[in-house]
Chains A and B, each alone.
Chain A
Amino acid sequence: GEDVEQSLFLSVREGDSSVINCTYTDSSSTYLYWYKQEPGAGLQLLTYIFSNMDMKQDQRLTVLLNKKDKHLSLRIADTQTGDSAIYFCAENAGNTPLVFGKGTRLSVIA
């Protein structure tokens, strides 16, 4: 079945860039997503990328997709303390529920 892998922890200094990586197994994924979970809250969609794209930029966020290697990354420029959260990678391989990774906890040190 589908599987999504990501590292569990990342710590960065305020003002630096953060890069969160994800690998997935289903080559038929049509969309890939990054969800953000702030403390005490549910998940919210942060950004997504269609599988025929290799990059998407949205203000401080850059998503890179390497379909050959099945690798997705999320770069947050000028990381702020408010970016501290758990970030989930997810894939959509058709008419099935999204498959989520285990989540990467980003800690921003002031």
Chain B
Amino acid sequence: DADVTQTPRNRITKTGKRIMLECSQTKGHDRMYWYRQDPGLGLRLIYYSFDVKDINKGEISDGYSVSRQAQAKFSLSLESAIPNQTALYFCATSDPTDTAYNEQFFGPGTRLTVL
């Protein structure tokens, strides 16, 4: 079974709808991240959490919110989706005590299309 799972894998929605993307991990890591990937723009950090009580904004947090429900779960919400939020979204985890080189482990991604 995959260590980092994301649901749904694909989602098509309409402008103005509220959307939640979910991420679960079985690695026991404290740190979790949400990124979006756009062609030519690479990976951009939306939010990150270093433990259950810690939430931090990344470089592109406007229009997004997150919830860290438990160590294993980190959800990303789009309160009112807009077309320029169409992208591939990745969740990742890490634990600096797990590997000295602080590897990040990625989920398979959620492809979101906002019409």
Contacts and interface: CB of A to CB of B under 8 A. Distances in A.
Given A100-B43, A102-B41, A103-B42, A31 B102 contact: yes
Number of chain A interface residues as a range: 10 to 19
Nearest to B107: A42
A107 to B, nearest CB: 15
Interface in B27-52: 33, 35, 40-43, 45, 48
Contacts, number: 46
B108 A102 contact: no
B58 to A, nearest CB: 7
Interface size on B, as a range, is 20 to 34
Interface string B44-69: 01001000000000100000000000
B42 A100 contact: yes
A100 B4 CA distance: 20
Q: Which 5 pairs across A and B sit closest by C-beta, in order of nearness?
A: A102-B42, A42-B106, A100-B43, A43-B106, A31-B101
Contact of B42 (A48, A95, A101): A101
A97 interface: yes
Interface string A93-109: 00101101111000000
